[in-house]
Amino acid sequence: MPDPDGLELSHAQLAPSEAISYFRQKVNMPTQRWGELESAAHARGFAVAGATSHALLTDFKTAVSRALSNGTTLQEFRKTFNSIVKKHGWSHNGSPGWRAKIIYETNLASAYSAGRYRQMTTPAALELYPYWRYVHHACAHPRPAHVAWSGIILRNDDPWWATHYPPNGWRCHCTVEVVSAGRMERNGWKVEESPPVETRPWRNPATGKEEHVPVGIDPGFQSNQGLEWTKVEQARASTTMKPITHVNEQPVATLPAQEQRAVHRKQLGQFYDMEDKEAGNRPNGIVEAGNFHPAIQKLLDSKTASVLLSDDNIRKNIDHHPELGREDYEALADVLADPDYALPSKGDDYKLVLLYRTENAFYKVAVKTTRKRDVNFATSILRKSLRDLPQLLRNNDVLYEKK
């Protein structure tokens, strides 16, 4: 899992796809003053204090999006900022250099944070890394509270992360790192009790409303943007896609195998259809992709035949293999239920590679089970030329072949 954090925001880096997706899904939110948009709402809304025009906000959003995608430096962004201000005749508070820096650094920091959180909360990552560790990085003006939190290790589902996942203030460069059980043991680390969350009253200058902000966190930073983004997408998914549980009032699990496969194909198609790059939407959640052939379930020693496909895997595939379309994802149900071959995944006892021939090509699908053998995932899908199949079979042990 790449680690985009540790980013020095005055120096550009190419953002991971998750950070870019987080930022692109935001919608313009015109505001008169900073504070009008609540902390949690920043996960869905793009706002620049004092920018009340949608056209102005669109230009700023485009500039920040390019900075994330292309690695634009702060110096380059300042030039773009000046051009946008001149174009719209925008009167803003603060010097142009300072204001451009605030827009650049705050939006990049929140996007990297949300993207990192998305990577850390995939089903596979949560299982492999049960613990998270707060890390404070040396800086010219360290915040005492952030220094005190450095080194704290909590479970990845501890509620403390809902309010204390960085950034926790303006120009905060703190990060969170994932920790495996093995690393905990090697370093002699112990899981700590969740620190008490003390709050202080703060009156929002824009709304006049008194809010309670955790001590050590700057107002406006008390929400975990990655978590809030997840909530937004889950809410959207709940209205966009409903899992098929019954057909003609009969539970799917009780249907004949061929009919179950048809249901899985339909669900996979619906999952893929959630992709809308223009709107910034991506598949969200987890869908049941199909059921293993009994021989494959036995090879993995899995307790269940059900195989899941998570949004994390389909997002990456959509980005890196745009040649795959709806019908390719629908075919995943057939690959799982009736593969032609199963190959080992070198060095991984929990993983297999399934091959499924069609008339003109073959699918290569990686599947894995968890260490407890109670959850299975399809982790990638590729469509390859049939001429590559013989060599692939020659170069690998064949654990299963359809008769």
Each residue's pLDDT tens digit, 36-94: 888 888 888 999 999 999 999 999 999 999 998 888 899 999 999 999 999 999 988 88
pLDDT of residue 78: 95
| Cα–Cα distance measured from residue 263 to residue 142, given in angstroms and rounded to the nearest whole number | 55
107: left (phi over 0), alpha (psi -120 to 50) or beta: alpha
Using CA of residue 108, residue 110, residue 114, residue 116, what is the dihedral sign? Answer: positive
CB atoms within 10 A of CB 399: 14
- For the CA atoms of 60, 64, 69, 73, the dihedral, rounded to the nearest 10 degrees, stands at 120
What residues have CB less than 8 Å from 69, skipping those under 6 apart? 14, 15, 20
Residue 321's alpha-carbon distances to 9, 93, 143, 153, 354, in angstroms, are: 30, 45, 44, 37, 18
pLDDT of residue 250: 67
Q: What is the 3-state secondary structure (H, E, C) of 235-296?
A: HHHHHHCCCCCEECCEEHHHCCHHHHHHHHHHHHHHHHHCCECCCCECCCCEEEEEECCHHH
Whether omega for the bond prior to residue 159 falls within 30 degrees of 0, making it cis, is no
**Token match 């598949």: residue?**
283
CB atoms within 10 A of CB 241: 17
Residue type at 312 in one-letter notation: D
Low-confidence ranges of the chain (pLDDT < 50): 1-12, 239, 277-280
Buried b (16+ CB within 10 A) or exposed e, 135-151: bbeeeeeebebbeebee
| pTM: predicted TM-score of the whole model, two decimal places | 0.64
β strands within 321-395, DSSP E: 341-345, 348-357, 361-369, 376-385
Q: How many CA atoms lie within 13 A of 201 on its CB side?
A: 4
pLDDT of residue 13: 57
Burial of 395 (0-12, 13-18, 19+ CB in 10 A): exposed
* Kind plus residue range of the DSSP H or E element containing 310: strand 306-310
Q: What is the pLDDT of residues 223-238, one digit of tens each?
A: 999 999 888 777 665 5
β strands within 123-264, DSSP E: 131-135, 153-155, 175-179, 199-203, 210-214, 246-247, 250-251
Q: Please provide residue 103's backbone torsions phi and psi, each rounded to the nearest 5 degrees.
A: -65, -45
Residue type at 294 in one-letter notation: P
Nearest alpha carbon to residue 191 among 146, 133, 145:
133
Report residue 65 CA to chain centroid gap. 17
| Cα–Cα distance measured from residue 276 to residue 376, given in angstroms and rounded to the nearest whole number | 27
68: left (phi over 0), alpha (psi -120 to 50) or beta: alpha
End-to-end CA, the chain: 39
What residues have CB less than 8 Å from 275, skipping those under 6 apart? 281, 282, 283, 318
* Kind plus residue range of the DSSP H or E element containing 3: none
Q: For the chain, which residues make up each domain, given as ranges? A: 17-229, 241-401
- Supply the angle between the helices 54-70 and 96-120 in degrees, to the nearest 10: 60
| Cα–Cα distance measured from residue 145 to residue 134, given in angstroms and rounded to the nearest whole number | 12
